[in-house]
Structure 1
Amino acid sequence: MKVVHQRYVAYSDAHYAGNLVDGAYSLKLFGDAGTHLAIIGDGHESLFAGYSSVEFLAAVRGGDVIEVEARLAATGNRSRTIDFELRVICRSLDETGRAEVLAEPIVATRARGTGVVPADHINRS
């Protein structure tokens, strides 16, 4: 089971030279995708317990179009291990609005985390 979100990264989200976006931006989007995945799988938003790994592999910049994937990796009684990946699929070429669709997405961030579903909300269907 997986969900994929796509979105444009606004220039106002960039905080550093070269229009770089901070790593927390990826983690926020992982939270949104993880919540979506939990709703589909368990009928509840769940509670996020934490990340066991996070890798920042490439830059995300204002003007990019990205996709975030949350994929269910393992299921316990109440815990859900989720693999996350953020990919840049379009890249801004300059600040004039020119951009290109990338032939191969750039994997910018990967993570693995655990969500926990409250015992009284387990989807038993």
Structure 2
Amino acid sequence: MTDDPRLGLTVTHRRYVPYSHAHYAGNLVDGAYSMGLFGDVATEVCIRTDGDEGLFASYSDVQFRAPVRAGDVLEISATVVKVGRRSRTLELRAVVVGRGRPDVSESAAEMLAEPVVATTATGVVVVPSR
């Protein structure tokens, strides 16, 4: 199905990481935070491709490549890379595009000139039969 119009669809969300989600020293946020955001962006993919919220069936090759901290601005994206009868395989990325600057002042922050890839994964979602 190389000519399937759903292939290549990318959905992107942006989210500010609140300090209430800091879990570890240095205001680090646990890896589950990115995984939850992957679920949100995958839900929108399913709505756009199939008119249904769908369900996550699996994650594979999850990689936590850089820390996510409270005060970060994340860009979370899902791209459809494979379409099955009821399944959709997604490439998922959480990228830090902005970061708090507590070294400057308590409320200082900046958008990053070089975004940092924080978390990547492959996910499979399933939707009801048509």
Q: Shorter-normalised TM-score: what interval?
A: over 0.9
The separation in 2 between residues aligned to 1:8 and 1:75, in whole angstroms, is: 31
TM-score by length of structure 1 reads: 0.93
What pairs up with 1:30-45 in 2 under 5 angstroms?
A: 30-45=38-53
Cα distance in 1 for partners of 2:54, 2:101 equals: 39
CA distance in 2, matches of 1:67, 1:13: 17
Which amino acid is 1:112 matched to?
T
- Equivalence for 2:110: 100
Q: How many residues align?
A: 120
Aligned partner of 1:52 in structure 2 is 60
Does residue 89 of the first structure (1) align with residue 113 of the second (2)?
A: no
Q: Residue 5 of structure 1 corresponds to which residue in structure 2?
A: 13
Shift of 1:53: 1.6
- RMSD after superposition: 0.8
Alpha-carbon separation, structure 2, partners of 1:11 and 1:63? 6
Aligned mates of 1:113, 1:72 — CA distance in 2: 10
Specify every segment of 5 or more residues in structure 1 that has no aligned partner in the other structure, as ranges.
none
Taking the aligned partners of 1:106 and 1:115, their CA distance within structure 2 comes to 26
Q: Deviations over 1:43-97 (max 9, x none)?
A: 0111110112200000000011111001101001111001100000001110611
Percent identical across equivalent pairs? 54
Partner of 2:33: 25
3-state SS, counterpart of residue 60 of structure 1: coil
Give ranges in structure 2 of 5+ residues lacking alignment. 1-8
How does the TM-score come out when normalised to structure 2? Answer: 0.90
Give structure 1 regions of 4+ aligned residues with deviation exceeding 2 angstroms: none
Equivalent in 22, 25, 31 of residue 14 of structure 1: 22
Q: 1:110 aligns with which of 81, 106, 120?
A: 120
Question: Comparing both structures, which one devotes a greater share of its residues to strand?
Answer: 1
